[in-house]
Chains A and B, each alone.
Chain A
Amino acid sequence: MSKPDLAVSIAGLRLANPLVLASGIFGTHASLMVRAARAGAGAITAKSAGTQPRSGHPNPSCVDFGGGLLNAIGLANPGAAAEVALLIETRAQLAPLGVPLIASIFADRVENFGRVAAQIAEAAPDLLEVNISCPNVASDFGEPFAGSPATAAAVTAAVRKQVSVPIIIKLAPNVPDLGQIARAVVDAGADAICAINTMPGLLVDLESGQPVLANRTGGVSGAALAPIALYAVYQISAAVDVPIIGTGGVSSGADALRMIMAGATAVGVGSAVYREGPAVFERIATEMAGWLAERDLTLDQIRGRAHGRVLWPEAPSTPPVPHAAARATIPQEHG
């Protein structure tokens, strides 16, 4: 029973383990991204940047409601020019650690996605995440581009045309047909998919009758998002063959393994970093390795397992076999 290799590959890029620091936490400073890398993250995603600096939404902008977080930080970022400097500094510090850097971008219009992608590509990130699914900026930008196959594909094509770095499209959960949107972005040139962004949510303060967040609505992350994210990864992996970074509510080795069984190649971790600190990466990786080692399995062997079905032999007509006894002798097959 040897220690299983947790390394995975996304668009030809090797990650020492599948755990990716998700965009939106620790991604604002090189020092914090390096801290997450040293703590055991397999890859680091910077916070999403746009063409211009944005201060984001007023406070309250993020609260813990017990089952997770509701946030409307509002894509606060220093703008593409400053982001390039931040990414260059971060990449230089991550390189000796062997941890890849994923830049993340957003924009207000399709053509501006191409523009900001070209700018950010100057920093030569290892991968480029295209955030078309932030639920908190509809007042500024309109509905997310992740909402329909046509808009999602248009953004993907605009970015694809501008950059050669592999691109990851970050999708939203609250759409009618995720498989169709996934196919559209892959056809338009996406190398990978990150699923999912936060789910729109609302908290109301009882005493004032007011929404808790200043932006009124926000995005749900954390434990409450886990089954929604699993569903999304399951739908997307049934529709397309590109690697998926399954993100949403992962805080344990079991959560991460479930994501991979649903079809993910890598696993995003965000809110759990808030709850536990960056040490969460080491713990999740250790729990994953332990589970796999106990069963003498590899990540490749369990990936997509949830899509298969356990095959039970036909029940014999006579004589009847007690169910428990039957279970003990029937070999199980996994898809």
Chain B
Amino acid sequence: MITATSGGGLGDRSDGLPRPYRVASLRQENHRTRTVILDGPVDAEPGQFCMLWLPGLDEKPFSVAAASPAAFTIAAVGPFSRAVHALAPGDRIWLRGPFGRPFQLQGRDALLVGGGYGVAPLLLLASRALAAGHRVRVAIGARGEGDLLLADGFRQLGIDPILTTDDGSQGQRGRVTEALAPLMDADPPDALYACGPHGMLAALADLAGKHRVPAQLSWEAYMRCGIGICGSCEQDGLLLCADGPVLVDDPVLREERS
């Protein structure tokens, strides 16, 4: 029942080689997350990712947080992300992509759900959805207050996000899926768009399925080559870097196939 979004082949592969950008600015988002804003745009749709490269160090995939100019919201979790945090305005960074299949707006009423670092691609989706005239609601979940990400960014778009934390330090205590159950009962959206940990996405797929709401879920995986060769991001016969990262879970299709 989980299928790739529409599109030819395994995605557009015209942007093959790394392209040099410069860092325009860095913005601290929470205690371990910064958004690196570059000096030029990237022709990306919400949910797509780019490979960021620092020659001699490493190259890693990051979802596109903003397209014009290109921006990436990155948590410092390893040598590469710490090196990105340490970049200064004017420093070089290279990217190739965008890669992967994006979110595709369905209907007129969108519910965006982000867990942990999975909030990163949703700000771009929210702004595109608003521009397309959608009603946009947002829910953000995190472990604790300090881990909540990009809430102010949504507020700047005029969206007051529902906040949940596992420890109750801000917003509702508990999982974001629990907080959404009453909303899904009272006023379900036309489609649910989510990015976050696998457990959260599986729970959201169930919740959306119960309400017969299509879910577009962006699955996080270890993507090595980023272009569908190495196989490291395989999930159920799909390559998340090329067939995903956004996969559609459509409850109507699910019933037809079961």
Contacts and interface: CB of A to CB of B under 8 A. Distances in A.
Contacts of B96: 63
A32 B229 contact: no
Interface in A71-129: 71, 73, 76
A75 to B, nearest CB: 11
A32 B10 contact: no
B237 A73 contact: no
A167 to B, nearest CB: 24
A26 interface: yes
A28 B227 CA distance: 15
Given A34-B237, A274-B229, A207 B92 contact: yes
B94 A208 contact: yes
Contacts of B231: 25-29, 32, 47
B10 A274 contact: yes
A51 B207 CA distance: 45
A60 B58 CA distance: 7
A335 interface: no
Nearest to B59: A59
A276 interface: yes
B18 A62 contact: no
Given A60-B51, A66-B16, A214 B59 contact: yes
A64 B13 contact: yes
B92 A32 contact: no
Interface string A197-212: 0000001010110101
A61 B227 CA distance: 10
A212 B225 CA distance: 13
B227 A205 contact: no
Contacts of A60: 18, 51, 53, 59
B86 interface: no
B237 A35 contact: yes
B224 to A, nearest CB: 6
B244 to A, nearest CB: 13
Interface string B50-87: 01010110111000000000000000000000000000
Interface string B1-33: 000000001100100111010000000000000
By size class, the interface of chain A is: 35 or more
Contacts of A214: 58-59
B92 A59 contact: no
Given A208-B94, A212-B17, A277 B9 contact: yes
Residue of A34, A47, A64 ringed by the most chain B CB atoms within 10 A: A64
Contacts of A274: 10, 13, 227-229
Contact of B237 (A32, A203, A208, A279): A32
Given A62-B225, A274-B10, A203 B17 contact: yes
Given A32-B231, A205-B18, A73 B225 contact: yes
A275 interface: yes
A205 B94 CA distance: 10
Nearest to B54: A208
A35 to B, nearest CB: 5
Given A60-B18, A63-B17, A76 B230 contact: yes
A323 to B, nearest CB: 44
Residue of B9, B225, B228, B242 ringed by the most chain A CB atoms within 10 A: B225
A59 B10 contact: no
A212 B19 CA distance: 11
A276 B9 contact: yes
A214 B224 CA distance: 12
A69 interface: yes
Contact of A58 (B16, B51, B58, B228): B58
A69 B20 contact: no
Nearest to A29: B234
Nearest to A271: B229
A65 interface: yes
B10 to A, nearest CB: 5
A316 B92 CA distance: 71
Given A28-B234, A59-B224, A275 B9 contact: yes
A189 interface: no
A31 B238 CA distance: 8
A61 B232 CA distance: 12
A53 interface: no
B239 to A, nearest CB: 7
A69 B229 contact: yes
Q: Which 3 A/B pairs are nearest by Cβ-Cβ distance?
A: A28-B231, A64-B16, A31-B237
Given A59-B59, A63-B227, A214-B58, 7 more contacts: A71-B229, A203-B17, A205-B55, A207-B20, A207-B92, A274-B10, A276-B10
28 contacts: A25-B229, A25-B231, A27-B231, A28-B232, A29-B234, A32-B237, A59-B59, A59-B60, A59-B224, A60-B18, A60-B51, A60-B53, A62-B229, A63-B16, A64-B227, A65-B16, A66-B17, A69-B229, A73-B230, A205-B17, A205-B94, A207-B92, A210-B55, A212-B18, A214-B58, A274-B13, A275-B10, A276-B9
Interface of A: 24-29, 31-32, 34-35, 47, 56, 58-66, 69, 71, 73, 76, 203, 205, 207-208, 210, 212, 214, 274-277, 279
